């Protein structure tokens, strides 16, 4: 684990450089450890695949202060309570008008639509990160047979609930938004509700199983 400055008011903690479950498990524990410390002046903690970013208020605390506190209290890392991940079943309408890139994915992979759906629903995915926009789960790892490059030019708009794949990841767009991932289907399950804590259906570490409808 290494600590780097990210600009004047953020700390980038690097846990590894590949997407794997060992890195994820350690990082997730560290994220709950960070939250449990309730340090003063912390604005955001953003855990993702291989790094955890701490954004702080430089008028209240500092890089040095946070890093030394983390070292001092590192013995609490082992005892911190890490919640059980939830398993979410997500019904998806695949292909057709709901999956404008299904055709591309079948031709790129050389698989039939049936096979693509079977493979996509045949894995239980891990939520490696939630972000870029509220409630968007970065899910993986995706079966190598479904590997698809991102769009060269992102679409200006995809509807909320769109299910996409990109490289070895899959994800769901909680809001209508621009999108560079290949869209293969759509779900009607709401992923984000700003009125109801914990707001995001998915939290880091949760499990997702797609079900065809």
Question: Between 133 and 213, whose beta carbon lies closer to another protein?
Answer: 133
Residue 60: CA atoms inside 13 Å, Cβ hemisphere, count? 9
Q: Which residue reads 């509220």 in tokens?
A: 134
* Cβ at position 85, least distance to another protein in Å: 15
In the bound complex, what is the minimum distance in angstroms from residue 200's beta carbon to another protein? 4
Contact positions toward another protein, by CB under 8 A?
5-10, 12, 17, 19, 31, 43-53, 55, 58-60, 129-136, 138, 150, 152, 167, 174-175, 177, 192, 194-195, 198-200, 203-204
Residue reference for tokens 């914990």: 198
DSSP 8-state symbol, 146: G
Q: How far is the CB of 95 from another protein (least distance, A)?
A: 26
Cis peptide before 198 (omega within 30 of 0): yes
DSSP secondary structure code for residue 89 in this structure: E
Q: Residue 183, Cβ neighbours under 10 Å: how many? A: 22
Distance of alpha carbon 162 from alpha carbon 3, whole angstroms? 36
Looking at residue 130, what DSSP letter applies? Answer: E
Q: Which is nearer to another protein, 12 or 108 (CB)?
A: 12
User: For another protein, which is the closer residue by CB, 90 or 139?
Assistant: 139
Q: Which is nearer to another protein, 123 or 177 (CB)?
A: 177
CB of 56 to another protein, least distance (A): 10
State in angstroms the smallest separation of the CB of 114 from another protein: 30
Q: Which is nearer to another protein, 80 or 111 (CB)?
A: 80
For residue 67, what is the enclosing H or E element? helix 63-72
Cβ-based nearer residue to another protein, 53 or 111: 53
Task: Give min distance, CB of 143 to another protein, in A.
Answer: 18
Q: In this structure, what token pair is assigned to residue 104? A: 């591309």
SS3 145: helix
Whole-number Å distance between alpha carbons of 5 and 167: 29
């Amino acid at each position: 684990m290494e600590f780097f400055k990210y600009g004047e008011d953020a700390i980038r903690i690097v846990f590894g450089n590949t997407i794997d479950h060992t890195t994820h498990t350690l990082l997730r524990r560290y994220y709950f450890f960070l939250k449990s410390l309730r340090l003063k002046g912390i604005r955001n903690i953003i855990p993702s695949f291989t790094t955890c970013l701490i954004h702080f208020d430089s008028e209240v605390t500092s890089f040095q202060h946070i890093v030394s506190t983390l070292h001092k209290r590192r013995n609490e890392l082992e005892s911190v309570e890490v919640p059980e991940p939830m398993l979410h079943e997500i019904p998806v309408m695949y292909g057709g008008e709901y999956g404008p890139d299904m055709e591309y994915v079948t031709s790129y992979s050389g698989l039939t639509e049936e096979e693509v759906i079977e493979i996509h629903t045949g894995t239980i995915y891990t939520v490696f990160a939630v972000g870029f926009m509220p409630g968007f789960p970065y899910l993986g790892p995706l079966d190598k047979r479904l590997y698809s490059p991102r769009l060269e030019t992102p679409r200006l708009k995809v509807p909320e609930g769109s299910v996409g794949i990109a490289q070895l990841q899959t994800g769901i767009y909680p809001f209508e938004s621009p999108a560079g991932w290949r869209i293969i289907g759509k779900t009607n399950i709401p992923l984000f509700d700003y009125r109801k804590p914990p707001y995001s259906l998915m939290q880091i570490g949760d499990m997702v199983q797609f079900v065809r409808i």
